[in-house]
Chains A and B, each alone.
Chain A
Amino acid sequence: MSVTPAWAAVAGVAGAVGAGVYIAAVADRAVGATVAGERGRAGRALGGPFRAAALWLVQGRATTERPDARAWALAPALYLGLAAVAVSVVPLTRNVTAVDVDAGLVLFGAAQALAVIPVFPNGWSSNSMLPLIGAFRFIAEALSYEMPNLLALLSVSVPASSLALGDIVTSQHHLWNVVRIPLGLPLFLFAGAGLAFWGPVDLPDGADLGGGTQAETSGAHLLAWTTGRLAMLFAISAMGAAAFLGGWLGPVLPGAAWMIVKTVALLVVLVSSRHLVARVRPERYVVISWAVLIPLALVNVIVAAAVSL
């Protein structure tokens, strides 16, 4: 376990999250323009995130009737912070990890599971009906995301006999986990999208609630919230790349390049889901999660144990 200087770790995580959020925002625009049948919008997609962010910074902050202002202001910062914690444990290469702890997998899982803490006050604090429904939706469903998410993540620790992410990547030297434990990655990505409430599982912030927990948010607050969500998608992609796609392992290119390529590929898949798949129904999702996804995730852990024997 190597020790990284604190400033380097903070700068590294901030840089990675910034780059990841930008790539996610560009991919979202590019895929959206393609699905909408608009050609020649690629150049605008590159500058689009900066212009949208500038508008949010220029906008005044409108407030609601009797909000819980402190909790409201804290929610996006907390969510972004959790995403940064999740990113910090993922190794870029064999020797480069912002926070190299023995139980990186557990810390990542904890950051994911705590997502419910900022999402609820984001909806509740504005003292408004639709955001409140969004907040309660997330409370009702968070466990249905967290269980398959953590079980899928757990499966990769079995063949590695370790909770350290470095060991988990190294254990894929001969065979990536996406092949060895095939159910793991889809389950992890789907449940991860739920924790970032993105695309087909965007239930707390869905269009049926006029934007849900963010329906009353504008300006810099909305910028922070959107950044937090994209950062969480980036954290999930980075972890997916390390835990299931062999992280830095790969021929010819340096390890860091492989890790970046794999992370961006997963990020594009996650971001694109918003434009390709309709939003599911909240009640049905809970049933599907407990009746199908969680049993599948348990089977996946058993499969992982069996192939490790």
Chain B
Amino acid sequence: MVVSRGRPGGPLARLAAGAEVPVFVARGLGAGDTEARLLGTSAVRVVASPRQATVLVVAGHVPPGMAEPLARVHDQIPPPRVTVWRTGAGAGALDAIRAAWPQATVVGPGDDVAATVVHAYREVLLGRRPTEQPRLADVEPAEWRGVGPYGQGGSGMTGGVPYGRPMAGRADDLRDGLSLDVVRVRMGPFLPAFPTGLVLAVTFAGDVVHAVEVDDLLTPGDGGLGAPLPDDAADSRGDPAARPVRIDGLERARCRHHLRWLARLLRLYGLEALGRRVALMAAAPVPEDIAHLRNLHRRLERAWVLGRVTAGVGVVTGDAAAQWGGVTARAAGLAVDARSGSPAYQALGFAPVTHEAGDGRDRWRQRLAEATQALELAGRAGDATVDDDHIEPAGQPAPADLAGALGTALTGQEWGDALATVASIDPVVHPGAGADRPARAEAAA
């Protein structure tokens, strides 16, 4: 139910049309640089909750499993609301979205998404475009199945499932022995700090994570919409048709990926303005930006509180770090990097950067150091190329047992720390939530 107050086109709405546009970004698969572009636009404010947005921006491919969560996010935006969907130019991707979401504005990878967002926002506030109707019916998520005066139903105080949700159960406490009620909650897939497409079923005891399971919403199938955007720096493999791959392009993509990651992490710690600054740097880093990156690194190292709140959080070392591989392993001191074996990289004087502690702080230090190193390599690389076996993906690969690895990392942590851990590892989740990386399989095929 929605109570509408202001009239689009009225004096209040005309004043509001000049406001910074509150945008909620729903990242699908292959969201590319959409979020970073919006973060880097001063006329736009990226918000943490759909309730505070007016424009919903959907980026990339939304598989069928994520369609209902996306509709739910859409309906949580208070009217007046509009949707802008940015998709890659896959076969019929634009037309399929227009058919399924007739109210949305669809843009391709080459269009200016920020300008489209601002335009759509003004149109709806000035009454030149209708506000979007809800996508889901306003009904109870599950029918009333409670029995008795308190509705608990079933047998015993906590036996029933009124409205389809179990009452809080009990479990031994992991922290201080005080046994608390446990509640199971699904987190994701559009939580802003979460990796794209990750859905965790978290069992909470108080605010402590008791257990986590990974839900897979990414399985491809009928009903998926949109196509991944071409600039998905997480894979940073470039055009599969163009082999071997130029190092300078690869390394610049790595720098972009790490900076986008950093912008999101800073926002998680409440540093929105600094996140915006980093997103601006992430737009198109060139080797001349190395000095700016070093400045940023010094500035963050001097930020005493940021160091304190990230140190010791989400420690992943030893065998666990080896299981993750990638950035997480290097942040724990393991010099595992596919580039080490490449003659082309060796000729550029490449040696993997590593850190020691394997905690949240060393992971942002690691990513920042790798971003700087990537720009240095890009500047020196000239037209050098690398073969497929020696491409190190910029994104953190998900291990075969993603659920187990996340469970080890998160169990027993307070929710804020658990989320910070997930955000700082930021695995690239693939269909099957842990199957081997399909990008590699495609490239080999």
Query: Using a CB–CB distance below 8 Å, which chain A residues touch chain B?
Result: 31-38, 41, 44, 47-48, 50-52, 54-55, 57-63, 65, 129, 133, 136-137, 199-200, 202-203, 206-211, 214-220, 222, 274-275, 277-284
Q: Which residues of A lie under 8 Å from residue B20 when comparing CB positions?
A: 48, 51-52
Q: Which residues of A lie under 8 Å from residue B140 when comparing CB positions?
A: 65
A288 to chain B, nearest CB (A): 10
Whether B3 contacts A208 by the Cβ 8 Å rule is no
Contact of B107 with A by CB under 8 A: no
13 pairs of residues in contact across A and B, judged by CB atoms under 8 Å: A31-B273, A36-B274, A38-B276, A54-B16, A59-B5, A59-B80, A62-B76, A200-B305, A207-B267, A216-B49, A217-B52, A222-B51, A277-B305
Q: Convert B157-180 into 0s and 1s, putting 1 for each residue whose CB lies closer than 8 angstroms to a CB of A.
A: 000000100000000000000000
Whether A52 contacts B19 by the Cβ 8 Å rule is yes
Whether B274 contacts A35 by the Cβ 8 Å rule is yes
Q: Knowing A37-B277, A219-B78 are in contact, say whether A61-B306 is a contact too (CB < 8 A).
A: no
Contact of B369 with A by CB under 8 A: no
Q: Which residues of B lie under 8 Å from residue A37 when comparing CB positions?
A: 277, 280
A60 to chain B, nearest CB (A): 4
Contact of B42 with A by CB under 8 A: yes
Q: Which residues of A lie under 8 Å from residue B48 when comparing CB positions?
A: 207, 210-211, 215
Whether B12 contacts A57 by the Cβ 8 Å rule is yes
Q: Which residues of A lie under 8 Å from residue B77 when comparing CB positions?
A: 62
CA distance A275 to B266 in the complex (A): 10
Q: Which residues of A lie under 8 Å from residue B1 when comparing CB positions?
A: 63
CA distance A253 to B419 in the complex (A): 51
Q: Which residues of B lie under 8 Å from residue A52 when comparing CB positions?
A: 19-20
Whether A218 contacts B51 by the Cβ 8 Å rule is yes
Apart from A33-B42, A211-B48, A280-B305, list 7 A-B contacts with CB within 8 A: A54-B16, A55-B22, A57-B6, A58-B6, A60-B5, A60-B79, A133-B415
Q: Knowing A35-B277, A215-B51 are in contact, say whether A51-B19 is a contact too (CB < 8 A).
A: yes
Q: Convert B37-59 into 0s and 1s, putting 1 for each residue whose CB lies closer than 8 angstroms to a CB of A.
A: 00000100001110110100000
Q: Which residues of B lie under 8 Å from residue A282 when comparing CB positions?
A: 207, 414, 416
CA distance A218 to B48 in the complex (A): 12
Q: Which residues of B lie under 8 Å from residue A51 when comparing CB positions?
A: 15-16, 18-20
Q: Which residues of B lie under 8 Å from residue A215 when comparing CB positions?
A: 48-49, 51
Contact of B191 with A by CB under 8 A: yes
The 5 closest A-B pairs by CB, nearest first: A58-B6, A51-B19, A35-B273, A55-B16, A54-B16
| Interface SS majority for chain A | helix
CA distance A57 to B8 in the complex (A): 11
CA distance A44 to B12 in the complex (A): 18
Whether A61 contacts B3 by the Cβ 8 Å rule is yes
Contact of B193 with A by CB under 8 A: yes
Q: Knowing A36-B280, A51-B16 are in contact, say whether A61-B274 is a contact too (CB < 8 A).
A: no
User: Nearest B residue to A55 by beta-carbon distance?
Assistant: B16
Whether A61 contacts B78 by the Cβ 8 Å rule is yes
| Chain B contacts with A in 7-46, Cβ cutoff 8 A | 7-8, 10, 12-13, 15-16, 18-20, 22, 42
Q: Which residues of B lie under 8 Å from residue A217 when comparing CB positions?
A: 51-52
User: Nearest A residue to B270 by beta-carbon distance?
Assistant: A279
Q: Convert B404-419 into 0s and 1s, putting 1 for each residue whose CB lies closer than 8 angstroms to a CB of A.
A: 0000000000111101
Q: Knowing A57-B12, A207-B192, A281-B414 are in contact, say whether A62-B2 is a contact too (CB < 8 A).
A: yes
Q: Knowing A60-B5, A278-B270 are in contact, say whether A206-B191 is a contact too (CB < 8 A).
A: no
Q: Which of A54, A137, A219 sits near B12, CB closer than 8 Å?
A: A54
Q: Which residues of A lie under 8 Å from residue B10 when comparing CB positions?
A: 58
Contact of B4 with A by CB under 8 A: yes
Whether B51 contacts A280 by the Cβ 8 Å rule is no
Q: Knowing A58-B125, A60-B78 are in contact, say whether A278-B18 is a contact too (CB < 8 A).
A: no
Whether B303 contacts A278 by the Cβ 8 Å rule is yes
Q: Which residues of B lie under 8 Å from residue A41 when comparing CB positions?
A: 42
